[in-house]
């Protein structure tokens, strides 16, 4: 183990007046809110890729971060060193979960045999760490977008040999996730899309996507994995157009392939905004369609159009999101994964802590505010009043299918209905939300 994090203490709850910035001000893991502890509600996870793999490079310059594990020259020893420091960080943050891609934890390899052996070597070590520290796996995922072989896609690649390699990675990673007791398995289709229609057979690629996903679900049942399979919608970046662009589109594809009861979604706010939606829209759409699974919590920057993966900090937005999650019954297998990275200038060990401490405190405050909103649920009361009339009369028979358009029209005509417009009270409702932000 390096001494990279040696100067930083284990992060504990010290209350809003804490003197140190290396402390939780709001996240008190044992505090009960609406009958469950904060830890149980929020199910927070640290991601391996942004926090331990990225070295701070951007398209104009090289890495700025000074991580000891990046300086180890032997690739396998570097993977081991990274694992050591990752689990030190998880433990010091005292958050319950982590997430990883297969290639995040391994030394780089080329052949299928090497892939199986090297991932297996690391999974054994991860299993030992899980046992020793009690940190759990929220989800695993296979990276089907970084290696050049995936430049034209993973499951939707025009070359069936590439799809076979993708199948190998997914089988190995799903098996590993199962072995490590993971709660979910995620598929993010970074390159499952196209750059130009001129070289793309949409129908063919859609069929490949559907069949590949069905195979993943079949394999899950075959090995007895009880967690959820999750698709992570994103509209574009890196491809010009991703097939899984948003929650509603994913649900349409799941329905086309008969998988709507087998697969849920992992929603990321920065992906929602790239698709032209609000974060809360995607949550409510997933709730409405019965596919809400998990969240990759982060944010974009309204002044540029990228997936900048910054740590979330808009308390009003996250309070409202938390309200919708609680209303839907909270997380099942899902949780809040910090799919977020510190900025390129935030280059030392302390910054990794500040990012995650702030993220955890934001979620804890949002939980407190949302719980208050639920206790005297003014938003629900307003909605209930707004939708009265649908459990009786022509409202009821319209929904249960017993009314034709002719009959509906005759109701209006015979009863001489001249309904007056009723206020939607948007400003009053916005005031209710603002009052809950604490
Ligand atoms: C990229 C995605 C990625 C997934 C995991 O935009 O958010 O990080 O969460 O492959
Ligand atoms: Ni993500
Ligand atoms: Ni993303």
Q: Are residues 268 and 360 in the same domain?
A: yes
Nearest CA to ligand 1 atom 5: 188
Atom in ligand 1 nearest the alpha carbon of residue 271: 6
Atom in ligand 1 nearest the alpha carbon of residue 337: 9
Q: Are residues 397 and 339 in the same domain?
A: no
pLDDT, residue 1, reads 74
**If you write DSSP's letter for every residue of 34-54 in order, what string do you get?**
TTEEHHHHH-EEEEHIIIII-
Query: Which ligand has the shortest distance to the CA of 310?
Result: 3
Residue for token pair 């069905």: 214
**If you write DSSP's letter for every residue of 50-90 in order, what string do you get?**
IIII--S-BTTB------GGGS--SHHHHHHHHHHHHHHHH
Q: For ligand 1, is residue 102 a contact (CB within 6 Å)? A: no
- CA-nearest of 11, 6, 26 to 92 is 11
Query: Which ligand has the shortest distance to the CA of 101?
Result: 1
Report the catalytic residues.
Answer: 101, 104
For β-strands 32-33 and 36-37, DSSP reports them as antiparallel
Taking the centre of ligand 3 as the mean of its atom positions, its distance from the CA of residue 339, in whole angstroms, is 7
| Residue 264 domain flag | yes
Q: Are residues 333 and 386 in the same domain?
A: no
Probe residue for ligand 1, chosen from 268, 273, 294 as the CB with the greatest number of ligand atoms within 8 Å? 268
pLDDT, residue 154, reads 98
Q: For ligand 1, is residue 296 a contact (CB within 6 Å)? A: yes
Where does 94-201 have alpha helices with state H? 102-105, 112-133, 160-179
Nearest CA to ligand 1 atom 3: 188
Q: Are residues 156 and 48 in the same domain?
A: yes
Q: Are residues 343 and 419 in the same domain?
A: no
Taking the centre of ligand 1 as the mean of its atom positions, its distance from the CA of residue 123, in whole angstroms, is 21
pLDDT, residue 304, reads 84
pLDDT, residue 281, reads 98
| Residue 27 domain flag | no
pLDDT, residue 306, reads 87
The H or E element containing residue 289 is helix 279-289
Cα gap 157→164, rounded to integer Å? 10
pLDDT, residue 305, reads 82
pLDDT, residue 147, reads 98
Q: Are residues 338 and 408 in the same domain?
A: no
pLDDT, residue 48, reads 98
Q: Which domain holds residue 410?
A: 382-436
Q: For ligand 1, is residue 234 a contact (CB within 6 Å)? A: yes
Taking the centre of ligand 3 as the mean of its atom positions, its distance from the CA of residue 320, in whole angstroms, is 21
| Residue 94 domain flag | yes
Cα gap 341→297, rounded to integer Å? 11
Q: What is the CATH number of the domain that holds 281?
A: 3.20.20.150
Q: What is the greatest pairwise CA distance in the chain? A: 84
- CA-nearest of 132, 137, 134 to 104 is 137
**Token pair recorded at residue 95:** 């958050």
- CA-nearest of 96, 101, 91, 211 to 146 is 101
| End position of a domain, from candidates 353, 376, 399 | 376
pLDDT, residue 356, reads 98
- CA-nearest of 142, 123, 25 to 83 is 123
CB atoms within 10 A of CB 279: 25
Taking the centre of ligand 3 as the mean of its atom positions, its distance from the CA of residue 268, in whole angstroms, is 7
| Residue 17 domain flag | no
Count of domains for the chain: 2
Q: Are residues 266 and 369 in the same domain?
A: yes
Q: Residue 290: helix, strand or coil by DSSP?
A: coil
| End position of a domain, from candidates 376, 406, 425 | 376
Residues present in the chain in total: 438
Q: Are residues 419 and 301 in the same domain?
A: no
pLDDT, residue 302, reads 87
| Residue 128 domain flag | yes
Q: Are residues 299 and 416 in the same domain?
A: no
**Token pair recorded at residue 133:** 């520290």
Probe residue for ligand 1, chosen from 188, 237, 272, 306 as the CB with the greatest number of ligand atoms within 8 Å? 188
Nearest CA to ligand 1 atom 8: 339
Q: Are residues 366 and 396 in the same domain?
A: no
Residue for token pair 């859609």: 206
| Residue 14 domain flag | no
Cα gap 193→403, rounded to integer Å? 42
Taking the centre of ligand 1 as the mean of its atom positions, its distance from the CA of residue 438, in whole angstroms, is 30
Q: For residue 100, give every residue at least 6 positions away whose Cβ sits within 8 Å of its Cβ, in sequence order, or none.
A: 47, 48, 49, 126, 137, 140, 141
Q: For ligand 1, is residue 178 a contact (CB within 6 Å)? A: no
pLDDT, residue 438, reads 80
Q: Are residues 182 and 64 in the same domain?
A: yes
Taking the centre of ligand 3 as the mean of its atom positions, its distance from the CA of residue 336, in whole angstroms, is 14
Q: Are residues 231 and 344 in the same domain?
A: yes
| End position of a domain, from candidates 326, 355, 376 | 376
Q: For ligand 1, is residue 339 a contact (CB within 6 Å)? A: yes
| Residue 316 domain flag | yes
Nearest CA to ligand 1 atom 10: 188
Q: For ligand 1, is residue 192 a contact (CB within 6 Å)? A: no
Contact (CB, 8 A) for 106 and 146: no
| Residue 21 domain flag | no
pLDDT in tens, the chain (438 residues): 789 999 999 999 999 999 999 999 999 999 999 999 999 999 999 999 999 999 999 999 999 999 999 999 999 999 999 999 999 999 999 999 999 999 999 999 999 999 999 999 999 999 999 999 999 999 999 999 999 999 999 999 999 999 999 999 999 999 999 999 999 999 999 999 999 999 999 999 999 999 999 999 999 999 999 999 999 999 999 999 999 999 999 999 999 999 999 999 999 999 999 999 999 999 999 999 999 999 999 999 988 888 899 999 999 999 999 999 999 999 999 999 999 999 999 999 999 999 999 999 999 999 999 999 999 999 999 999 999 989 999 999 999 999 999 999 999 999 999 999 999 999 999 999 999 998
- Residues, CB-to-ion distance under 5 Å, ligand 2: 268, 296, 339
Cα gap 400→385, rounded to integer Å? 21
């Amino acid at each position: 183990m390096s001494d990279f994090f040696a100067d930083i203490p284990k992060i504990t709850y010290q209350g809003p007046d804490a003197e140190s910035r290396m402390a939780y001000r709001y996240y008190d893991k044992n505090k009960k809110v609406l009958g469950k502890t904060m830890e149980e509600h929020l199910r927070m996870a640290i991601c391996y890729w942004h926090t331990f793999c990225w070295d701070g490079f951007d398209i104009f310059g090289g890495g700025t971060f000074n991580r000891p594990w990046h300086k180890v020259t032997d690739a396998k020893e570097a993977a081991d060193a990274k694992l050591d420091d990752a689990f030190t960080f998880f433990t010091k943050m005292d958050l319950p979960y982590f997430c990883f891609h297969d290639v995040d934890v391994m030394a780089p390899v080329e052949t299928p045999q090497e892939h199986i052996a090297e991932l297996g070597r690391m999974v054994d070590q991860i299993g030992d760490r899980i046992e020793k520290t009690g940190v759990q796996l929220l989800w695993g995922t296979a990276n089907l977008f970084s290696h050049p072989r995936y430049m034209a896609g993973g499951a939707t690649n025009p070359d069936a040999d590439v799809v076979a390699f993708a199948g190998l990675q997914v089988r190995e990673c799903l098996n590993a996730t199962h072995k490590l007791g993971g709660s979910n398995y995620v598929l993010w289709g970074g390159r499952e899309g196209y750059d130009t229609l001129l070289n793309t057979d949409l129908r063919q690629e859609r069929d490949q996507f559907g069949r590949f996903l069905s195979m993943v679900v079949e394999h899950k049942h075959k090995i007895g994995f009880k967690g959820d399979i999750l698709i992570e919608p994103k509209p574009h970046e890196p491809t010009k157009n991703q097939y899984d662009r948003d929650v509603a589109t994913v649900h349409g594809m799941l329905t086309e392939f008969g998988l709507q009861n087998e697969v849920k979604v992992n929603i990321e706010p920065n992906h929602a905004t790239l698709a032209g939606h609000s974060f809360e829209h995607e949550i409510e759409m997933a709730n409405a369609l019965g596919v809400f699974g998990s969240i990759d919590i982060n944010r974009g920057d309204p002044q540029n159009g990228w997936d900048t993966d910054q740590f979330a900090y808009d308390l009003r937005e996250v309070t409202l999101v938390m309200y919708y999650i609680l209303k839907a019954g909270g997380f099942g297998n899902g949780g809040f994964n910090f799919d977020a990275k510190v900025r390129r200038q935030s280059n030392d060990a302390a910054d990794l802590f500040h990012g995650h401490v702030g993220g955890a405190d934001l979620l804890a405050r949002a939980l407190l505010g949302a719980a208050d909103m639920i206790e005297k649920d003014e938003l629900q009361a307003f909605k209930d009043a707004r939708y009265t009339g649908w459990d009786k009369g022509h409202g009821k028979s319209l929904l249960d299918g017993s009314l034709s358009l002719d009959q509906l029209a005759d109701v209006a005509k015979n009863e001489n209905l001249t309904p007056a417009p009723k206020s939607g009270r948007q400003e009053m409702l916005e005031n209710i939300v603002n009052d809950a932000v604490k």
